[in-house]
Structure 1
């Protein structure tokens, strides 16, 4: 199967439609699929739902799709650093489903492993638990019953992720903290499109260094990335 495409627009050809659910990797501005997000914006699709830790900043990442009103709903754990996100949410223009970060990552990972739901203690007794199935398990220190809530796996129509390297079959290596949400996001989509900094020949990656096997990856592009720093903190000269 040929997985390498010349650019983001061609890699997304035939995959985009209104009202779809997209899982996007990244954390803040670290390891975000910026080229694919730009191509999604240019395509004009609308009423999108994004499962992503956050929505970038006002003029970068998913933030560019908020500016053009192409996002209907966010499934996220952090919504800071984005004034337009806040404005749309508070005005009722944007629907928001809050998720604890670990729960969001596990919802993606679970779906990627074919698990439709799981129980977790995180969120019990808070607004996160409202409307969700609860069940008690004997997991206390002395076998006491403890309450858990059920969370559903996120089965996305499309996954878009950013990796450091890929071989021609789609085996991926992520760079340090840019690994973040990218592997679970890649797993949970019906189709996974990846943008990378470098494509290397098949067989050149150390098998023990591969973070995500190519079985999850359907399309790959190579490109130049801006790599913004979200909060630059330096000491005085």
Structure 2
């Protein structure tokens, strides 16, 4: 089955207002920016986004956020996106902050059909006890808080402790970025871009992948496939210009020591 699409616009054409999206990427690595921009151009809004973070100001999911297209975010941190923080504190957006490992496992569980799981992360904190601010009111007061979650003791590693029940995440669509894909939807990711992309792809009922390179089935060897095509429904190949749009989130430099002739 040929899953390739002529354009990102065609691939996202059926995404409606209010859809839920699992979006790959970590910071600026592995972000499906061309698909995100196609969504922005389509005019859809009221989106619920599940992603490690919500991009940065003016790039990635930050573009949808700045345009007021996102109503709710499930993420592990707000990060460097000032507009994300502003909208959250101003009560313009609902945010469910989730521990990063828990978020990854919630997406994976949704992809493999596990409805919920227990984890020690967050047990005995506001994560399990409830009361975390989900939405603020315009006056700065807390309008909506998180509900308590089920706790259960387990003696797993020789000492009993409490574990919190976390529910799986399943979204309407998954949006991911890969280095290489074939027409059957098999994907290979480039180094750090592997991050949340396989998990977001698994969690989406319909998953759209943008790829730097599209190859014929059989070119990718079995050991080169990081995500099998059964999890991918649509593949969009990027132009060289789209593929090279890879900004650096933070550039850190330091002075090199003067050469003394004794370095090894």
Normalising by structure 2, we get a TM-score of: 0.87
Match of 1:137 in 2: 154
Corresponding position of 1:11: 11
Match of 2:25 in 1: 26
Secondary structure of the residue that 2:4 maps to in structure 1?
Answer: coil
Following superposition, the deviation at residue 183 of structure 1 comes to 0.3
Answer with 1 or 2: which has the greater Rg.
2
Indicate the SS of the match to 2:71: strand
Selected match of 1:169 from 184, 209, 223: 184
Segments of structure 1 that go 5 or more residues without pairing to the other structure are none
Kindly report structure 1 stretches of 4+ aligned residues shifted beyond 3 Å.
none
Aligned residue for 1:74, secondary structure, equals strand
Q: CA deviation at 1:145?
A: 2.1
Partner SS for 1:183: helix
Cα pair 1:8 1:36 within 8 Å, conserved? yes
Query: Which of residues 229, 232, 236 in structure 1 aligns to 2:251?
Result: 232
Deviation at 1:2? 2.5
For 1:1-237, what aligned pairs fall within 5 Å after superposition? 1-14=1-14, 16-129=15-128, 130=130, 131-141=148-158, 144-223=159-238, 224-225=242-243, 226-236=245-255
Find the residue that maps to 2:5 and give its secondary structure.
coil
Q: TM-score, normalising length from structure 1? A: 0.96
Counterpart CA distance in 2 for 1:38 and 1:95 is: 22
Note the residue ranges of structure 2 that are not aligned, 5 or more in a row.
131-147, 257-264
Deviations 1:17-67 (A, max 9, x none): 111110000000000000010011111111111000001111000000111
Cα distance between partner residues in 1 of 2:186 and 2:157: 41
